[in-house]
Amino acid sequence: MRFKYEAMIGGYANCPPTMCENKNIMGLRFVFSDFHPNNILPPLVINPKRVNGTRFTKESTKCSGHALSMYNSLDNARKAYAKILKVAKNLPKTAGTHIAEFPISHEDGLVTSCNDEGHFDLHEYEGVDFANRMVVICLAQ
């Protein structure tokens, strides 16, 4: 299967990481409640110029920048949002105001393992489109 952003990530070593796997999992992601293109776009697709920025010096981070950020539970998503909101009260302006469920199946792509905060990346396969499958479930705060 080709990845949605194959042209951008094809040159990176170990991208997506070999530890990624196909999973049936519910991903939780920050979104805007009305249709907004950023709801379903990875950060380096929203702004490809940032690939040369200091955050993306390593190929592993460039790779991650082409994946959708997700949390494995509503609780973990809300905790992460609340933590950042303590220092950046205008976070809703850029990250989104709501949390949506993304029903991820084996056919959608590869997911990384969760970190301690329940965050994981989804590397979508070509042709996958969550625009009509994501379901906004609640406010992020």
Chain residues in the site for another protein (CB under 8 A) = 43, 47, 49-50, 52, 54-55, 57, 69, 80, 83-84, 86-91, 93-95
As measured in angstroms, the least distance from the Cβ of 32 to another protein is 13
As measured in angstroms, the least distance from the Cβ of 16 to another protein is 18
Residue closer to another protein by CB (options 82, 135) is 82
As measured in angstroms, the least distance from the Cβ of 107 to another protein is 25
User: Angle CA(128)–CA(134)–CA(135) in degrees, nearest 5?
Assistant: 165
In three-state secondary structure terms, 27 is strand
Residue closer to another protein by CB (options 33, 57) is 57
Q: Where are the alpha helices (DSSP H) in 1-141?
A: 6-9, 43-46, 59-64, 74-85, 91-95
Contact 90, 135 (CB under 8 A): no
